[in-house]
Chains A and B, each alone.
Chain A
Amino acid sequence: MSNWEILWASRDVFWQGFGNTLTIFSISAVLSFLLGSLLLFSMEGVRPRLKIPLRIFIDAMRMLPFLILAYLFYYGLPSVGIRMTAWQAGVLALVLYHGAYFAEILRGSRITLSSGQEEAAIAQGFSRPTMFLRIILPQLVLRTRGVMGNQLIILLKDTAFLVIITVRELTAAANSLSSTYFIPMEAFIVVIGFYWMISLALEQGIRFLGRIGEKRGFNNA
């Protein structure tokens, strides 16, 4: 049996890893985008006291290697009585970490949005949350689609770190097959293929956003 045939025979392990990676990625992507939006909304909110702790949170996350955060949540927190499954710890770490980045990406674009658009919304009686959801956020997404896509790919790659906290995702699958049959080369090439596939699908999504943006004159994103 050639090495490739061995891998083909154990394809279920890959599929399981692929499914897990895709699930973790999708959940974390959606939640971290929501967290990023919520952070931005809260920071420009009516409570100035909230601004400083949120700012500190965002900077703290950005100045931290993701791996450490995953370690901390899974191995560190149990010692203070907080126990999570590997999945919970992994997704929470991804969401907090990348949520901070999303907040920062959105904020950068928020600053340059013309205040006139907001005034028009206020004059029309929009409440703050409705204005944020209907007028501001959609524009920020269209404007930052490129950077946003980049961040999603980084998020995807960070899911690979979860192998070290025992999540059975793609990299874990390759790891276990490579050590069981000692065929690291082939096993890792296969998972690279999987990561590329997901990334290419992401790029397609961003391109679709791009077409929506171009039709509306958002060309300089």
Chain B
Amino acid sequence: MPEQPEVSIRNLSKSFDGIEVLRDVDLEVKSGEVVSILGSSGSGKSTLLRCINWLETPDRGEIRINGERIGLQDKTQKPMSRRELAKVRTQLGMVFQSFNLWPHLNVLRNVTEALIYVQGLKKSDAVERAMAFLHKVGMAEKAASYPATLSGGQKQRVAIARALAMQPKVMLFDEPTSALDPELVGEVLSVMKDLSSEGYTMIIVTHEMDFARNVSDQVVFLEKGIIIEKSAPEIFFHSPRSERVRRFLELDKVV
């Protein structure tokens, strides 16, 4: 029996105001795999990622996390209740481009909040787990600081710890370094690289070509909502099948 994919996306389509941003997207991500999604802006890559945890509601298609359907009831095809949705979402951790930390809570409480009020952990257990993950991203000594006092790179590392602390099966990264000053990109990428070597399953929307080349197991290229290339990084970056990807890579070199 073939191994069940951790994330499976079938025939996913999505339009905004009649404009199709995703068309019949298929993608399978195996456990421990790192998948980078590339494409120019407006190609639908963020929408694809946001559909995976149902922050966007697709028009058609199905998404399964470890075989479990997200968004719609398997039998009736009716939308899930918020509670059911929240339960499936616990398998997914999400990291946003703009960090989205909660400014009224300090770093530690940003991480413990969902552990206590969603997962129902005792406070002492939540703090212990949060500190372990803050340590992992190198932010333990900032536990008492408020987000407003942190640099972008530090904020994003806290956001990663916050997502990791929920112990999801899959981590979703939506352009995690795009809002960062160039000198802060490295610290975030290095945390992500560590995660990939620890065997986390990761789906990453990114513009960081070197990172995609060195860390991914699979590179996906989206263009106008269609996957036009899906291959291993060696193939993708050296002998892409499509002319469009070749042009995209050349432009990247010129810049």
Contacts and interface: CB of A to CB of B under 8 A. Distances in A.
Nearest to B97: A116
Interface string B186-202: 00000000000000000
Given A124-B118, A125-B86, A127-B86, A117 B102 contact: yes
Interface stretch (A21-29, A52-60, A155-163, A213-221): A213-221
Interface in A134-149: 134-135, 138-139, 142
A119 B96 contact: yes
B152 interface: no
Contact of A120 (B87, B100, B117, B119): B100
Nearest to A128: B82
Given A114-B100, A139-B104, A216-B104, A120 B94 contact: yes
29 contacts: A114-B98, A116-B96, A116-B100, A117-B100, A117-B101, A120-B100, A120-B101, A120-B159, A121-B114, A122-B55, A122-B89, A123-B92, A123-B163, A125-B90, A125-B118, A125-B166, A126-B86, A126-B114, A126-B117, A127-B86, A135-B102, A139-B102, A139-B104, A216-B103, A216-B104, A217-B146, A217-B148, A218-B103, A218-B104
Contacts, number: 80
B83 interface: yes
Contacts of B82: 127-128
Contacts of A130: 117-118
Interface residues of A, number: 23
Contact of A217 (B86, B103, B166): B103
A45 to B, nearest CB: 12
B83 to A, nearest CB: 7
B170 to A, nearest CB: 12
Contacts of B90: 125
Contacts of B55: 119, 122-123
A133 to B, nearest CB: 9
A138 B102 CA distance: 10
Given A127-B118, A130-B117, A216-B104, 20 more contacts: A114-B98, A117-B100, A117-B101, A119-B96, A120-B94, A120-B96, A120-B100, A120-B102, A121-B102, A123-B93, A125-B119, A126-B114, A126-B117, A128-B82, A134-B113, A139-B102, A139-B104, A216-B148, A217-B148, A218-B104
A218 B146 CA distance: 11
Contacts of A124: 89, 113-114, 118, 162-163, 166
